[in-house]
Chains A and B, each alone.
Chain A
Amino acid sequence: MIRSIINSILIGTLGGALAVGCYLAVGLATHRQNDGLSRLVDYIVLTPRAVPGLMAGLAVFWVFLFVPFLAPARSTLFSVWFAYAVVWLAYGMRLIQSALMQVGPELEEAGRLVGASRARVSRDITVPLIRNGLLGAWLLVFMIFEREYSTGVYLLSPGTEVIGAQIVSLWASGAVDVVAALSLINMALVGIGLAVALRFGVKLHD
């Protein structure tokens, strides 16, 4: 029970941040690139959301089952995180891209002109400017990961339970009081995440 709470916290905070980092990497790679590949990526990132989370989870389960070097990671929290990150890729990318689009193109061009490569411009100009957008993206991804369970159904094993899955199985066994307690804890965790994000400058309104 405690383990499921810790797992949920880990996957929400660290996993959420890691996922935002991955989305950011994809976002920067295609940022203001108008070639065919970038446009293809824009569509490809939508596909994981085109199937139910349960099926996407199953697909990830198979990947971890049949790709040899991934097999040892199948029963770790990494596989759960991987499934979450893939399934919510479409949402995450939208968040990142809308933040990136708000950076004036001339701010990046000015960086190029004074001698910075694309990578340097991303590191020194683009990313610092979308810091708040990234925090906002993390907050949303954190809240999703914190309560998500259906995607991970096939991947959950002893040791990698999350609160959501725990609640479902406890409900089936009739332990309503524990379900209520876990739900409260889950809500409290989301509240703490929100407070942290607000503390670091995320604005929910003007």
Chain B
Amino acid sequence: MTDKTILSVDNLALSYGSNPILKGVSMQLRRGEVVSLLGPSGSGKTTLLRAVAGLEQPHHGSVSIAGRAIYDAAAGIDIPAEKRDLGLVFQSYALWPHKTVFDNVAYPLKLRKVGQNEITQRVHAALKNLGLDHLAERYPHQLSGGQQQRVSIARALVYNPPVILLDEPLSNLDAKMREEARAWLRNLIVEMQLSALVVTHDQSEAMAMSDRILLLNGGVIEQQGTPTEMYGQPQTYFVADFMGSNNIMNGRIGDIKGGEARIDLDNGISVWGLRRTNAAIGHEAKAVIRVEQARLADAGGHNRAELDLATSMFLGDRYEYVFHAGPDLLRAWGKGHEAPGRRWLELPADAVWIF
């Protein structure tokens, strides 16, 4: 552990009754870093965040903030949530409906026995920072979803916690606002040099917002790394499948040459790709290629197949081509409209992963 580590989770395990939710998760968050906890529902990402916050009861492992143990099963340490001094932004924002925006944000300071003048000054500074100063006297139900989210962030930041935890911060906003809020939130975190742990189920949100991603699957970390590593070099089929829009095809390994392998797909195509499995020749495997990597070609060649183009869909910034390949539907993106018919599709060997 270096002195830059602000949050350290070591081998944390948690069960609901006899149902294990976290099966030994270890992670570090460095000062000024944004780490996303990504995973499908039921993967334990929210449970991990809540365990760090002190809202769930683990039974094994340890958690420390800036070198101070806040939970340690072996040493019998379990600091209650209110003494952990963390900031948490809830998915539902959890603003207190009976308090004004000002009182919501002032409450953490009031609990810390800060003087009235300083409270007024710090709350207004926090609200101003988030562009909410004019809404101080309103009640939460009088605000839009985006404004409520900002109040919730202001409340979590006003007492300068060392780490801020965000639970699906964007999921309650509508699709268009979500993209704007994503950029705004990332900018805020970077500008204020916050250390943040963000839970999300949306891989593009995780990639856009974070310096590192931890992908959880069934209570364990499947893979962690920078967004580019996670997207470009998935180590397992689960990661490849989760991180992008993919064409996935089943087949058997036909040939192996060093780090590459040929897969003979059930749909009749044979392609070469990067070997990510130890399966021997003749064994079942899966070929995965990102939709944006598959492309139309003019003529036959290496890793190309002639297929039926069923339709072209206009998506605004691009077209999506849908090909029939035996039982599979393959998708590819391109610039122009293409009439249905026989077309060559290229699946570049360096973009195909074989698991």
**Identity of the chain B residue whose Cβ is nearest the Cβ of A131 in the assembled complex:** B98
Is B82 an interface residue when CB atoms closer than 8 A count as contact? yes
Asked if residues B97 and A112 are in contact (CB atoms below 8 Å), the reply is no
Q: How far, in whole Å, are A129 and B159 apart by their CA atoms in the complex?
A: 24
Is B88 an interface residue when CB atoms closer than 8 A count as contact? yes
10 contacts between A and B (CB under 8 A): A107-B94, A109-B94, A112-B55, A113-B53, A113-B82, A113-B88, A115-B83, A115-B112, A116-B107, A129-B98
Query: What is the predominant secondary structure among interface residues of chain A facing chain B?
Result: helix
Asked if residues B90 and A110 are in contact (CB atoms below 8 Å), the reply is yes
Asked if residues A116 and B82 are in contact (CB atoms below 8 Å), the reply is yes
A174-204 vs B, Cβ < 8 Å mask (1 yes, 0 no): 0000000000000000000000000000000
Find chain B residues with CB under 8 A from A104 CB: 92, 94
Cross-chain contact of A129 among B97, B108, B111 (Cβ < 8 A): B97
Chain B residues engaging chain A, CB cutoff 8 angstroms = 53-55, 80-88, 90-92, 94-98, 107-108, 111-112, 155-156, 159
CB distance from B50 to the nearest CB of A (A): 8
Asked if residues B94 and A117 are in contact (CB atoms below 8 Å), the reply is no
Known: A109-B55, A113-B81, A114-B107. A128 touches B88 (CB 8 A): no
Asked if residues A114 and B111 are in contact (CB atoms below 8 Å), the reply is yes
Cross-chain contact of B94 among A106, A115, A124 (Cβ < 8 A): A106
CB distance from B345 to the nearest CB of A (A): 49
Find chain B residues with CB under 8 A from A170 CB: none
Find chain B residues with CB under 8 A from A128 CB: 98
Asked if residues B96 and A110 are in contact (CB atoms below 8 Å), the reply is yes
Known: A104-B94, A106-B92, A106-B94. A112 touches B159 (CB 8 A): no
Asked if residues B82 and A115 are in contact (CB atoms below 8 Å), the reply is yes
Extra pairs beyond A113-B54, A113-B81, A113-B86 (15, CB < 8 Å) = A104-B94, A107-B96, A109-B88, A110-B155, A112-B54, A113-B87, A114-B82, A114-B108, A114-B111, A115-B82, A115-B111, A117-B80, A124-B107, A125-B96, A129-B97
Interface centre among B82, B83, B112, B156 (most CB of A within 10 A): B82
Q: How far, in whole Å, are A128 and B97 apart by their CA atoms in the complex?
A: 10
Interface size class of A (residues with CB under 8 A): 10 to 19
**Identity of the chain B residue whose Cβ is nearest the Cβ of A107 in the assembled complex:** B94
Is A3 an interface residue when CB atoms closer than 8 A count as contact? no
6 closest Cβ pairs, A-B complex:
A114-B108, A110-B94, A106-B94, A112-B81, A115-B111, A113-B88
Q: How far, in whole Å, are A109 and B80 apart by their CA atoms in the complex?
A: 12
Q: How far, in whole Å, are A112 and B79 apart by their CA atoms in the complex?
A: 12
A107-141 vs B, Cβ < 8 Å mask (1 yes, 0 no): 10111111111001000110011000000000000
Q: How far, in whole Å, are A120 and B96 apart by their CA atoms in the complex?
A: 14
Q: How far, in whole Å, are A124 and B87 apart by their CA atoms in the complex?
A: 19
Find chain A residues with CB under 8 A from B112 CB: 115
Asked if residues A115 and B85 are in contact (CB atoms below 8 Å), the reply is yes
Known: A104-B94, A109-B81, A109-B94. A114 touches B55 (CB 8 A): no
Interface centre among A110, A112, A125, A128 (most CB of B within 10 A): A110
CB distance from B5 to the nearest CB of A (A): 22
Q: How far, in whole Å, are A25 and B354 apart by their CA atoms in the complex?
A: 62
Q: How far, in whole Å, are A125 and B95 apart by their CA atoms in the complex?
A: 11
Q: How far, in whole Å, are A176 and B61 apart by their CA atoms in the complex?
A: 76
Q: How far, in whole Å, are A94 and B163 apart by their CA atoms in the complex?
A: 40
Known: A109-B55, A110-B90, A124-B107. A115 touches B159 (CB 8 A): yes
Find chain A residues with CB under 8 A from B54 CB: 112-113
**Identity of the chain B residue whose Cβ is nearest the Cβ of A124 in the assembled complex:** B107
Find chain B residues with CB under 8 A from A112 CB: 54-55, 80-82
Find chain B residues with CB under 8 A from A117 CB: 80, 82
Find chain A residues with CB under 8 A from B98 CB: 128-129
Cross-chain contact of B90 among A106, A115, A120 (Cβ < 8 A): A106
CB distance from B166 to the nearest CB of A (A): 12
**Identity of the chain A residue whose Cβ is nearest the Cβ of B110 in the assembled complex:** A124
